[in-house]
Amino acid sequence: MKKSLKMAAVMLAIYGTASVPAMADGNKISEVFSYDMIGVDIAYLENLIGPARKTEQHTQTKTYLVDHCPLDVQTRDGAVDTLRVTIGGKCQFVLNDILPSYEKIPTRDVVFGLSGPVTYYADCFGINCGNAYDPSVYELYEGSHAENWRELLLSSVNASYEAVSRWSNIMEANEGVDWMMDNRFNCTPNKYSDVAEQSLKRQPVDRIMIGYNLEQKAGLKWGCEEVNPMSNASPVTHSSTQTEAPNIPFQLVANVSDDYQYIGSKVLSGQLLYEPNEMDGYRFEFRVDPYDQDVLPEKATMTTYVLDGVTVENAGHYFGIKTDLTDPKFESKLCALTGPVTLQIVGITLSIPPEAHWYANMNFTRVLSSGPFRMGCEEQ
């Protein structure tokens, strides 16, 4: 009796008051990859499958290896928010009540072509994907009230070239190359849903994700926040008229060696650029329109200037940019954002060493107009 009580005390110390079911080896992944796990404490899950091998802080995602299966767990406030498993190879198991119309189905039999309300997405198509990138195609199932609004996302990097091309060729023929390059197919996914369904039916699946609000959590419409560049949307205006800004010629106020500093006040129009640069990385740059360059100082012969004080954290406030530029996917996919802006420029700083890289910066006090912006990614 004393021995039994001692054992019970040890188990209580390890697990607390939570009841942790025993799982046979080889069955853990079938048990934990379940809608019943959505919302449980991450500590409870780790009592079942062990600690995470990796944690991504920005996305709050933990990666585990369960029965040879990579399992990605997105968390929120210390609880399981979504589950995603990569299947194939040694990772084979039976899905229990995951796919609609299937109480049980082996993962090797899971293919595109779910019955019910589905939507299709893609990372990119063709040359826009780059040479070193394995793009995925996606099928999102959104359950009904009777299914407690459960959602299921199938994805694959192994869909055949012919199947994906049938889908993309029809969209490009109807919408044009720019529409495809800007990933607008993800912004209006229902427009060609029938074409995607016919093209991808029976294609293999290598990842399965379950949870709720998966379109947002998986970033399927990432980049669609910006105004469609093909639309006639009005730009964001921060001042009633451009004539309110003082018109003061730029004057040299400091010159040390090859560095020059000018102050003045001019309203300049041009393009805002936020794109990768091999030497300097990402910077917010302002490319002055040719017809405004004649008001610049004589030594300001360059066309593009770094905007002082603009960061990914405040760019949305200044210019009305809606895309989350802090998202790691923006840089990892080599994305770029561009759009027209009109600024009141009050300072110019130039560093023009004769045999070194030059720098040119501008200070602005007001954004008179900005947008619409367009975003594209090289996906390399």
Q: What tens digit of pLDDT does each residue of 347-374 get?
A: 999 988 877 678 899 999 889 999 888 8
Kindly state whether residue 227 falls inside one of the protein's structural domains: no
Choose the final residue of a domain: 172, 190, 217: 217
Kindly state whether residue 65 falls inside one of the protein's structural domains: yes
Kindly state whether residue 3 falls inside one of the protein's structural domains: no
The 10 Å Cβ neighbour count of residue 102 is: 15
E runs forming strands in the chain: 54-56, 61-66, 69-76, 79-86, 94-96, 104-106, 118-122, 137-142, 151-156, 207-211, 236-237, 248-256, 259-275, 283-288, 304-307, 335-351, 359-370, 374-377
Q: What tens digit of pLDDT does each residue of 306-336 get?
A: 999 999 889 988 998 988 888 888 888 888 8
* 165 and 211 inside one domain: yes
Kindly state whether residue 192 falls inside one of the protein's structural domains: yes
Measured between alpha carbons, how far is 44 from 304 in angstroms, rounded to an integer? 54
Domains in the chain: how many in total?
Answer: 2
Give the CA angle between residues 134, 138, 144 to the nearest 5°: 160
> Stretch 190-213: mean pLDDT, rounded?
94
- The burial class, CB within 10 Å (0-12 / 13-18 / 19+), for 70 is middle
pLDDT for 127: 72
pLDDT higher than threshold 90 for residue 133: no
pLDDT higher than threshold 60 for residue 264: yes
Kindly state whether residue 138 falls inside one of the protein's structural domains: yes
Domain carrying residue 297: 236-377
Q: What tens digit of pLDDT does each residue of 224-235 get?
A: 766 444 333 334
Q: What is the pTM of this model?
A: 0.65
Percent of the chain scored above 90 by pLDDT?
51
- The burial class, CB within 10 Å (0-12 / 13-18 / 19+), for 254 is exposed
pLDDT higher than threshold 50 for residue 46: yes
| Closest by CA position to 345, among listed 266, 247, 249, 241 | 266
pLDDT higher than threshold 70 for residue 342: yes
Kindly state whether residue 11 falls inside one of the protein's structural domains: no
